[in-house]
């Protein structure tokens, strides 16, 4: 996983096989049939033994990162499901225009998609008590010396949005807010509506890429995505604070009451504060606290000896691993980052223990566990005979999770590209995994993914590895 500076949330979304062995497990929901009338509400949930959540594939709702199921709302509902003693099923909804209908047909129990409470939605669904408050902000490119000569106004006051083109989802609270803002400023805003297939995070990416100039997002979503794209500004609020809550079927009053009681209690616990910090505060932290080490001729890090020994054991070039560690933690064994990632190689809490690595583990143990993990990943790409190419796939898998890279490989093959070559081939499909038309393709098993961070990750580590090879020959 990259450091915060390089965009720690490459975030998005590896589907894995989910256990159904116990009532506390999660599983993907493949059911097409709606629930029977008697299955609505809490008694029906207990009868089937599962709580079905309708989620979006996003950084606040649900995603899978390095094989770990994540998302602020997902973690809240996982705790709730465990309190109920039922399994948690996640059903990804790609078209949010349909999410209320899907809920009301009985194909899910709770909507979890950073759902703002607005009057228009109350006529279709009930809401839980709010668990988050956030304002809407303008997403635009930063004003820099390089962009001042461009014909794009950097907005510092909402009144400057008069006669500007802004792209937002048509059935969103953003669209409603812009209509109200037109009245407030007494002028026209050129609102270009999009369908729900283009989610807010895809529009944020389009702003960064220069395809559109402005969009609107909740601040919590915008600040997470700001970490992907260093050319974005998300500091201008365009609304008062709004409540975020879960959506529920109007036929589920018992579930609504039980959820509200549980939320009111849970939000007072340290567990809630920890989850909130993990997603909305720790992401602002940095792992820059590199150890005080001055490189000498013929050395790369304080850990060269153990890196060489383990590299020989696993037949993995130790200079590649050194480059990876520098990128992840700047050789700081005490580094901490988003999602609880820790140590030299930024293991996730759910992954590190599988390889004998814990936050308190000494550097030698961290490196040994890292080699074990890399060795396991390398076996996935044994069919790529060229070592340099194979290393790029290994790095990409370490950063994104193998599922997304396998998806990109399948897409590359389908599009007539070389599935065993990274640059210009699989790399191109990794970049496209953030687009709806690609991540909904039948060959894609792991969902949407913002690939620009992984592409940069592979390039930067590969380049650093070449530098290390020139510095140290063996």
The one-digit pLDDT tens for each residue of the chain (474 residues) are: 333 333 333 333 333 222 222 233 344 433 445 545 446 799 999 999 999 999 988 888 988 766 678 889 999 999 999 999 999 999 988 888 899 999 999 999 999 999 999 888 999 999 999 999 999 999 999 987 655 556 789 999 999 999 999 999 888 889 999 999 999 999 999 999 987 667 888 899 899 989 999 999 999 899 888 877 889 999 999 999 999 999 999 999 999 999 999 999 999 999 999 898 888 875 444 444 444 444 455 789 999 999 999 999 999 999 999 999 999 999 999 998 766 789 999 998 889 999 999 999 999 999 999 999 999 999 999 999 999 999 999 999 999 999 999 999 999 999 999 999 999 999 999 999 988 889 889 999 988 887 888 999 999 999 999 999 988 887
Q: Which CATH architecture group holds 4-132+243-284?
A: 3-Layer(aba) Sandwich (3.40)
Structure tokens at 137: 């902000």
Which class in CATH covers the domain with range 304-471? mainly alpha
Instruction: Provide the CB-side half-sphere exposure for 192 (13 A, CA).
Output: 11
Catalytic residue among 73, 328, 389, 427: 328
In the block, residue with structure tokens 């389908």: 414
- Is 387 catalytic? The answer is no
On the question of a common fold for 4-132+243-284 and 136-240, the answer reads yes
Give the pLDDT confidence of 321-354 residue by residue, as tens digits.
999 999 999 999 999 876 678 999 999 888 999 9
The per-residue pLDDT for range 439-457, each reduced to its tens digit, is 889 999 988 887 888 999 9
CA distance 214 to 255: 39
Model's pTM, two decimal places?
Answer: 0.71
Residue ranges of domains in the chain: 4-132+243-284, 136-240, 304-471
Q: Are 172 and 184 in contact (CB under 8 A)?
A: no
- What the block records as the tokens of 287 is 């792992």
- Where does 287-361 have alpha helices with state H? 304-314, 318-329
136-240 CATH: 3.40.190.10
């Amino acid at each position: 996983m990259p450091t915060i500076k390089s965009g720690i949330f490459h975030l998005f979304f590896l589907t894995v096989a989910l256990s159904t062995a116990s009532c506390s497990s999660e599983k993907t929901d493949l059911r097409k049939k709606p629930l029977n009338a008697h299955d609505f509400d809490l008694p029906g949930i207990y009868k089937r033994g599962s709580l079905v959540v309708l989620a979006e594939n996003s950084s606040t709702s649900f995603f899978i990162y390095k094989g770990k199921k994540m998302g602020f709302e997902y973690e809240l509902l996982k705790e709730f499901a465990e309190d109920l003693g039922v399994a948690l099923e996640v059903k990804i909804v790609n078209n949010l225009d349909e999410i209320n209908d899907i809920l009301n047909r009985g194909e899910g129990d709770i909507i979890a998609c950073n759902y703002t409470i607005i009057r228009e939605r109350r006529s279709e669904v009930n809401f839980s008590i709010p668990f988050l408050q956030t304002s809407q902000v303008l997403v635009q490119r930063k004003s820099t010396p390089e962009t001042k000569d461009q014909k794009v106004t950097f907005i510092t006051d909402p009144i400057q949005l008069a006669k500007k083109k802004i792209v937002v989802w048509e059935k969103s609270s953003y669209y409603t807010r812009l209509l109200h803002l037109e009245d407030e400023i007494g002028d026209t805003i050129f609102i270009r509506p999009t369908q729900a297939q283009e989610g807010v995070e895809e529009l944020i990416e389009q702003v960064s890429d220069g395809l559109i100039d402005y969009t609107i997002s909740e601040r919590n979503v915008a600040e997470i995505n700001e970490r992907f794209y260093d050319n974005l500004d998300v500091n201008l609020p365009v609304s008062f604070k709004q409540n975020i809550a879960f959506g529920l079927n109007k036929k589920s009053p018992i579930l609504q009451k039980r959820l509200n009681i549980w939320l009111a209690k849970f939000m007072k616990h340290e567990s809630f504060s920890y989850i909130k910090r993990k997603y909305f505060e720790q992401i602002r932290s940095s792992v820059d606290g590199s150890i005080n080490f001055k490189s000498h001729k013929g050395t790369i890090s304080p850990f060269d000896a153990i890196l060489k020994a383990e590299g020989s054991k696993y037949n993995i070039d130790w200079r590649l691993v050194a480059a990876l560690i520098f990128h992840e933690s700047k050789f700081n064994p005490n580094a901490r980052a988003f999602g609880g990632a820790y140590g030299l190689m930024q293991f996730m809490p759910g992954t590190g223990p599988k390889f004998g690595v814990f936050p308190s583990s000494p550097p030698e143990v961290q490196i040994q566990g890292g080699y074990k993990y890399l060795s396991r990943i390398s076996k996935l790409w044994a069919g790529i005979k060229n070592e340099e190419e194979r290393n790029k796939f290994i790095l990409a898998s370490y950063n994104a999770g193998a599922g997304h890279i396998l998806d990109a490989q399948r897409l590359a093959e389908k599009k007539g590209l070389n599935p065993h070559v990274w640059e210009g081939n699989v790399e191109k499909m990794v970049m496209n995994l953030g687009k709806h038309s690609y991540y909904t393709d039948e060959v894609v098993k792991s969902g949407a993914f913002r690939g620009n961070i992984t592409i940069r990750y592979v390039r930067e580590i590969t380049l650093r590895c070449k530098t290390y090879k020139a510095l140290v020959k063996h």
